[in-house]
Amino acid sequence: MSTHRLTAPAPGWTAATDVVVVGSGVAGLTVALNVRKAGLRAMVVTKAVLDEGSTRWAQGGVAAALGEGDTPEQHLDDTLVAGAGVCDEEAVRTLVTEGPDAVRRLIATGALFDRGEDGEVLLTREGGHHRRRIVHAGGDATGAEISRALVAAVRTDPGIELIEHALVLDLLTDAAGHAAGLTLHVMGEGQRDGVGAVRARAVVLATGGMGQVFSATTNPAVSTGDGVALALRAGAAVTDLEFVQFHPTVLWLGPEAEGQQPLVSEAVRGEGAHLVDADGVRFMVGQHELAELAPRDIVAKAITRRMQEQGAEHMFLDGRHFGAEMWEHRFPTILAFCRANGIDPVTEPIPIAPAAHFASGGVRTDRHGRTSVPGLYACGEVACTGVHGANRLASNSLLEGLVFAERIAADLAGLDAAGDLPERAVDVAAARAAQPVPLPPSEARAEIQRLMSRGAGILRSAASMADTAAGLALLAEQARSHVAEEKPADPRVETWEAANLLLVATALVTAAAQREETRGCHWREDFPERDDAHWRRHLITTLAATGGPVSTPEEQ
Ligand SMILES: Cc1cc2nc3c(=O)[nH]c(=O)nc-3n(C[C@H](O)[C@H](O)[C@H](O)COP(=O)(O)OP(=O)(O)OC[C@H]3O[C@@H](n4cnc5c(N)ncnc54)[C@H](O)[C@@H]3O)c2cc1C
C-alpha cells in the first residue's frame, strides 16, 4: 500500500486524525512510528520538506551506555555535571537507562551506524563524557543517516499521513481546554496561501529549536521557536529558556556572516584536535581537567574570553596531525565544507568561533512528554523534559528525542486503551478565521537576531538585556500599530515566523534578565558566580493577560 502523502493542501483544507505531530525531525518521526505501533492514526505536519530540520545536520552522534564497562549510572553522572545543578535527576535517569534500547530500536528501524572490523558499533568520545559512548554514522553524518532511516520508515507506513509545506500556527482546544487540533498556514504550489486546520484527539509538538533568534547559529532556517510560541499562546508553561547553548567550534566565515553556520563537531576534539590561539598556544590546557573536552559552556567561555583578551575575531582548531586519510574517512562532511570555504584542515588550523546551537529549555513536560495543557505533548528540542539542566551534554539531544518520543506514544496508547482519548468537539471555522497575533514585517527577523546577538547572546548583563528588551518591545509595538491602522503585514510564512521569533526572543530575555547568576550556558557578566542559595531552581515562563511573557521562579 502506498503512503497517503499530500504535499500541497489547498487553503481552507481541514482534516482529522487521532494524533497530529508537528515536525519531522528525530522526535516527530519517532513519535509517529510508535503511535502507529499502538494502533492509532498519525499525521505528521511539517513546514518545509520532511528532512528539513536540525536532525539531518547533526554530526557527532547519539550518546548511550553501549560500550564495555560503561553504565547508565556513569552516563547519568556526566549529564548531571554538565547540567550544572538544575537537571531533573529522574528525567536523566529515564534518558540514560532507556537510551541504549532506544538506540537498538533505531538500528532495527534501519539506521546504519559506523561499525568496526569486528562488526560492533564504533563509539567515540565528546566533551563532558568520561567514556567513549557516542554512536555515529557516515563518520560525521549521523543526523543525515537517522533522518534517512526514519523518513524511509514513515513513508512506507500507510497509516501515517505526511503533510509538507504547512506551517502550524496555533492550538485548537475544546470547551474543557483539552487540545483538539491545530490551525495551520498551508503553502500550495501555484495556489494561494491560506489557513487550514487539523482536528485530532491529541497534539504533539516536535518543532525543534530556536537558534534563529540569534544572528549566527548552527540551526537551519526552520528553527524559529514556533512550538514554544504556540505553547505560550496556548497557555502552556515553558521553562529554562535562558539556557541557550553556544557551540564552541563553529566555522568562522567572517564578521558579516549571518544565519546558519557550519559546525565543526565536538567529535573532532574527541579524536584529539587542539584549540589554539593565533600564536599556537593550547589555551584550554590548565583550565579544566578535560582540556579541550571540557563541557561546552566552559570551552565556549574560554574561547570568548581569549578572543576578548587578544582582540581576536576567532580562535583555531588544529587537527593537522590527523593526516589526510583520517580527515577523509572520519570527518568527510567537515572536510568538504571547510575546503568549500577555502580552508584545508589537513594543512592548516580551522578558524572557529562560538555560535547559538541548542535550546536546553522549552515547553515544560513531565516524563511522559505531557505539557501543562491537557492533550498537548512536546518532544525533542522544543521540549524541556529537565534532562539538560543548564547545559546539554553533547549528543544527549538526539537520544532525548528518541527516548521521550517512545514514552509519549506509550502514554497515548494507554489513554486510548482506557477510553481517555475521545474525539474532541471544536469550532474549526471560528478558529480558522481568528487572527491570533499582530504580524511584524518579515524584515523584523534580521532586527530581532541583531538585537539578541548584541545583548542576550553569549555575554549578557542587565544593561545589555535592557537594550535588547526595549528594541524587541518597539518591534511588537510597531506590529500592533500597523494592525490598528489597518495596515497589517501579509500573513505569510516569513511574517508568522517573525511573530514567533519576536515572542520567543522576548520570553528568553525576560527569563535571562531575571536569572541573576552565571550557571551552565547562561553567562552573566554582572553576576559572574553561580548562586545556589537563590537560583538552584527553574524559571517558569507564561504569557500574562496583557500578552507579554512573565517569568516566575519555581519554589525551592
Ligand atoms: C549542526 C548541528 C549539529 C548537531 N549535532 C548533534 C549531535 O551530534 N548529537 C545530538 O544529540 N544532537 C545534535 N544536534 C542537536 C540535534 O540535532 C537536535 O536537537 C535534534 O535533531 C532536534 O530534533 P527535533 O526532532 O526536536 O527537531 P528538528 O530536527 O529540528 O525538527 C523540527 C521539525 O519541526 C518542523 N517545524 C518547525 N516549526 C514548525 C511549524 N510551525 N509548523 C510545522 N512544522 C514545523 C521543522 O520543519 C522540522 O521538520 C545538532 C544540531 C545542529 C544544528
pLDDT tens digits for range 97-106: 999 999 999 9
What is the model's pLDDT at position 188?
64
Domain end residue (candidates: 303, 328, 352): 352
The CA distance from 2 to 311, in Å, is 59
Burial per residue of 451-485, b for 16 or more beta-carbon CB atoms within 10 angstroms, e otherwise: bbbebbbbebbeebbeebbebbeebbeebeebeee
What is the model's pLDDT at position 183?
93
- Strand pairing class (202-205; 376-378): parallel
Residue 296 designated active-site:
yes
C-alpha cell, 221: 532556517
User: Other CB atoms closer than 10 Å to residue 140's CB: what's the count?
Assistant: 26
pTM of the model as a whole: 0.93
Smallest Cα–Cα separation from 158: which of 8, 41, 45? Answer: 41
Smallest Cα–Cα separation from 177: which of 227, 228, 235? Answer: 235
Structural domain includes residue 51:
no
Mutate to test the pocket of ligand 1, among 29, 183, 397 (most ligand atoms within 8 A of CB): 397
Q: What is the mean pLDDT of the chain?
A: 93
Which tens digits make up the pLDDT trace of 433-480? 776 788 999 899 999 999 998 899 988 999 999 999 999 999 999 999
Mutate to test the pocket of ligand 1, among 7, 54, 251 (most ligand atoms within 8 A of CB): 54
- Strand pairing class (14-16; 194-199): parallel
Structural domain includes residue 471:
yes
- Within this chain, do residues 348 and 439 fall inside the same structural domain, yes or no? no
Structural domain includes residue 358:
no
Which tens digits make up the pLDDT trace of 267-285? 899 899 999 999 999 999 9
What is the model's pLDDT at position 1?
33
Structural domain includes residue 286:
yes
Query: Which residue of the set 296, 367, 424, 519 is catalytic?
Result: 296
Smallest Cα–Cα separation from 363: which of 210, 555, 200? Answer: 210
CATH code at position 282: 3.90.700.10
Smallest Cα–Cα separation from 46: which of 165, 139, 178, 214? Answer: 165
SS3 state of residue 232? helix
Structural domain includes residue 71:
no
CATH code at position 486: 1.20.58.100
Structural domain includes residue 313:
yes
Handedness of CA 62, 63, 64, 66 (dihedral sign): positive
What is the model's pLDDT at position 89?
98
Decide: 356 and 241 in contact? Cβ < 8 Å: no
User: Other CB atoms closer than 10 Å to residue 155's CB: what's the count?
Assistant: 14
- Within this chain, do residues 441 and 536 fall inside the same structural domain, yes or no? yes
Domain end residue (candidates: 352, 368, 398): 352
Domain end residue (candidates: 282, 317, 352): 352
Instruction: Tell how far CA 452 is from the center of its chain.
Output: 17
What is the model's pLDDT at position 416?
95
Categorize the per-residue pLDDT at 191 as very low, low, confident or very high, splitting at 50, 70 and 90. low
Q: What is the mean pLDDT of residues 130-142?
A: 93
Range of the domain at 280: 255-352
Structural domain includes residue 327:
yes
Q: What is the mean pLDDT of residues 142-152?
A: 97
pLDDT for residue 371 is more than 50: yes
Spell out which residues line ligand 1, taking CB within 6 angstroms.
22-28, 45-48, 52-55, 57-62, 142-143, 167-168, 206-209, 218-219, 222-223, 226, 263, 358, 380-382, 395-398, 401
- Looking at the DSSP bridge assignments, the partners of residue 116 are none
Q: What is the mean pLDDT of residues 144-170?
A: 94
Walk across the sheet containing 134-135 and list its strands. 62-63, 134-135, 123-124
What is the model's pLDDT at position 11?
64
Give the amino acid at 443.
E
**Cα dist from 22 to 181, 306, 529, 540, 550, whole Å:** 11, 41, 39, 23, 26
Q: What is the DSSP letter of 293?
A: G
Work out how many domains the chain is built from and give that number.
2
Structural domain includes residue 460:
yes
What is the model's pLDDT at position 437?
85
